[in-house]
């Protein structure tokens, strides 16, 4: 058996390519839309990619399963659990689709996959036990655990409510997750845990940076799993629902599109944006249905000079998807401001993975920032200077774009708290006061937030630096 984890660092997302070395067939589990990476790994190792499986309807990226089925003839193995509202609608009636219930099995070559209903993160969620029959095994070697069980954490059960807007399902989902986790008691200690996400994903609150684990280890040291196995249901529900990060706005759109079917990429290829110059900026700046994404790493340089109304979405560190996904509407035509042409391929892939397909143009940052008639600035102060600034302007508003739990632990007196990923949905909640001083824990989240607010015409100041340096105007936890 061949197994390869293929990771997207920007979304902390893992797909898995598993091949049978005797038959030469391979399957990919939980792929993203840009399929060339999976085909390359398959070809390099002598496999033909013949199948695809999904653990669930994803919220954080668009799946490549439909693309594999309809363009490449792969067989899709999909959940039929969860009830009528949780079906892969795009695959119904497709002769290449196979629908699975709890306990169903299928093979790729001499490798057996057994579906386990592991609901809670979503109602239809399946995990897959993998057994290498061709290697003589009669017990599973691994569990493809999707968003059910991570290294150091378990899947969050609140997204249907917090991201998709389904009121009242958070607590029942947590109770379902508790019961699903207790099913793992029957699995062997040696089973490898192959999760769909790692540290940095918004699909959990304590995901580990170790790429894979073993069930016996997780039983001992994964706090959430340990509580599900040995604690009470009520305590588990209380703990798992506390402290979850606020999801980006685009999660609801991903749920919708992965259910009905992501759009196929034109000719199965990524967009090829054209190179523009300063003379072409008139068609982009302040134009309807268009957005400029500034992908530079240096937030101080962005505040000093950037194209008017551009969104700060650093390519480095995986912030492009969360920034663009929180602040850019679907079907918006995109201009990318990049530090160098070598960044362009990755800069195109990341928006496409979250359904922002109209990546039409790019321009080097050095050229864009010297087109002075089209540039703007955003005032910036350090966190240590905030108290003095507020003393001079007592009518100003402080906007804290950290998470709710961070805010409760300590905040600036009188501050409004809206997580940076939720600003697009809550602009109307901002009091009509100017200027707005925007801070977070380090300055990074605030830098993205102020770019969005400035593009909306709001008078903002970026408060950059460590929250602990704010000083006298910060209140401790009550």
Give CA–CA dist 162/448, Å, rounded.
21
Tell me: pLDDT of 478 over 80.
Answer: no
Please write the tens of the pLDDT for every residue from 286-335: 899 999 999 999 999 999 999 999 999 999 998 999 999 999 999 999 99
The separation between CA 378 and the C-alpha centre of its own chain, rounded to angstroms, equals: 28
Nearest to 64 by CA among 28, 33, 40, 97: 33
CATH number of 270-376: 3.40.250.10
CB 115 within 8 A of CB 128: yes
pTM: 0.95
State the pLDDT at residue 162.
Answer: 81
State the pLDDT at residue 273.
Answer: 98
Mean pLDDT along residues 460-470: 96
Please write the tens of the pLDDT for every residue from 19-39: 999 999 999 999 999 999 999
Q: Which long-range contacts (CB under 8 A, 24 or more apart) does 209-215 make?
A: 210/151, 210/152, 211/5, 211/7, 211/14, 211/151, 212/5, 212/151, 213/151, 213/152, 214/189, 214/190, 215/143, 215/184, 215/187, 215/188, 215/189, 215/190, 215/191
State the pLDDT at residue 205.
Answer: 85
Please write the tens of the pLDDT for every residue from 75-99: 999 999 999 999 999 999 999 999 9
State the pLDDT at residue 286.
Answer: 87
Phi-psi region of 109 (alpha: psi -120 to 50; beta: other; left: phi over 0): left
Angle, CA of 9, 313 and 15, to the nearest 5°: 20
Q: Where are the domains of the chain?
A: 2-257, 270-376, 380-476
User: Residue 477 — pLDDT band, cuts 50, 70, 90?
Assistant: low
CATH number of 380-476: 3.40.250.10
Q: DSSP 3-state assignment of 313?
A: coil
Tell me: pLDDT of 73 over 90.
Answer: yes
Give CA–CA dist 443/453, Å, rounded.
15
CB 5 within 8 A of CB 16: yes
Mean pLDDT along residues 377-404: 95
Q: Judge whether 2-257 and 380-476 match in fold.
A: no
Q: Please provide the size of the chain in residues.
A: 478
Nearest to 463 by CA among 445, 150, 100: 445
Q: Which CATH number fits domain 2-257: 3.60.15.10, 1.10.8.50, 3.30.1360.20, 2.70.170.10?
A: 3.60.15.10
With tokens 């950290």, the residue in question is 402
Instruction: Kindly tell me the burial class for residue 132, based on how many C-beta atoms sit within 10 Å of its own C-beta (0-12, 13-18, 19 or more).
Output: buried
Please write the tens of the pLDDT for every residue from 239-275: 999 999 899 999 999 999 999 999 999 999 999 999 9
The separation between CA 396 and the C-alpha centre of its own chain, rounded to angstroms, equals: 33
DSSP conformation class of 58: -
Tell me: pLDDT of 202 over 90.
Answer: no
Q: How many CB atoms lie within 10 A of CB 432?
A: 6
User: Residue 474 — pLDDT band, cuts 50, 70, 90?
Assistant: confident
Question: Is the pLDDT higher at 286 or at 187?
Answer: 187
Give CA–CA dist 113/132, Å, rounded.
9
**pLDDT exceeding 90 applies to what percent of the chain?**
91
State the pLDDT at residue 250.
Answer: 95
State the pLDDT at residue 5.
Answer: 98
Give CA–CA dist 352/310, Å, rounded.
19
Residue 1 CB contacts under 8 Å (≥ 6 apart), including other chains: 18, 19, 20, 21, 111, 130, 132, 134, 135, 141
State the pLDDT at residue 391.
Answer: 93
Tell me: pLDDT of 473 over 70.
Answer: yes
Tell me: pLDDT of 2 over 70.
Answer: yes
User: Residue 432 — pLDDT band, cuts 50, 70, 90?
Assistant: confident
DSSP conformation class of 30: S
Mean pLDDT, the chain, rounded, equals 95
Give CA–CA dist 71/357, Å, rounded.
18
């Amino acid at each position: 058996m061949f197994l390869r984890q293929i990771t997207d660092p920007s979304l902390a997302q893992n797909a898995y390519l598993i091949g049978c070395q005797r038959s030469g067939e391979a399957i990919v589990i939980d792929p993203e839309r840009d399929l060339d990476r999976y085909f390359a790994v398959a070809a390099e190792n002598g496999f033909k990619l013949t199948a695809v499986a999904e653990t669930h309807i994803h919220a954080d990226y668009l799946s490549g399963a439909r693309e594999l089925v309809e363009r490449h003839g792969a067989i899709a193995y999909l959940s039929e659990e969860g009830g009528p509202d949780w079906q892969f609608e795009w695959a119904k009636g497709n002769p290449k689709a196979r629908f699975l219930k709890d306990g169903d099995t299928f093979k790729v070559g001499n490798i057996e996959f057994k579906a386990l209903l592991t609901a809670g993160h979503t109602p239809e969620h399946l995990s897959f036990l993998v057994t290498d029959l061709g290697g003589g095994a009669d017990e599973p070697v691994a569990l493809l655990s999707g968003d059910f069980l991570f290294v150091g954490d378990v899947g969050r059960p609140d997204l249907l409510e917090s991201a998709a807007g389904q009121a009242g399902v958070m607590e029942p989902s947590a109770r379902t997750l508790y019961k699903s986790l207790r099913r793992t008691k029957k699995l062997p200690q040696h089973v490898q845990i192959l999760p769909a996400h790692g540290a940095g994903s918004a699909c959990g609150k304590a995901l580990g940076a170790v790429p894979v684990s073993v069930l016996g280890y997780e039983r001992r040291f994964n706090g959430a799993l340990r509580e599900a196995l040995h604690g009470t249901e009520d305590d588990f529900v209380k703990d798992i629902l506390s402290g979850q990060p606020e999801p980006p706005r685009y999660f609801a759109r991903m749920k919708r599109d992965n259910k009905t079917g992501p759009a196929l990429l034109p000719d199965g290829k990524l967009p090829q944006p054209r190179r523009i110059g300063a003379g072409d900026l008139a068609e982009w700046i302040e134009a309807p249905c268009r957005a400029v994404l500034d992908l530079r790493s240096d937030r101080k340089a962005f505040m000093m000079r950037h194209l008017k109304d551009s969104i700060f979405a650093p390519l480095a560190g995986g912030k492009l998807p969360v920034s663009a996904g929180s602040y850019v509407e679907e079907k918006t035509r995109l201009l990318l401001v990049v530090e160098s042409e070598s960044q362009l391929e990755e800069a195109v892939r990341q928006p496409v993975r979250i359904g922002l397909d109209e990546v039409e143009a790019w321009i080097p940052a050095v050229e864009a920032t010297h087109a002075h008639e089209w540039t703007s600035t955003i005032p910036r102060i350090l966190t240590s200077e905030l108290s003095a600034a507020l003393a001079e302007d007592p009518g100003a508003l402080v906007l804290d774009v950290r998470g709710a739990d961070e805010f409760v632990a300590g905040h600036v007196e009188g501050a409004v708290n809206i997580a940076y990923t939720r600003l697009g949905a809550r602009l109307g909640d901002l009091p009509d006061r100017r200027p707005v001083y925007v801070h977070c824990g380090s300055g990074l989240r605030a830098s993205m937030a102020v770019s969005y607010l400035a593009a909306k015409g709001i008078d903002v100041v970026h408060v950059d630096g460590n929250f602990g340096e704010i000083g006298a105007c910060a209140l401790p936890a009550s």
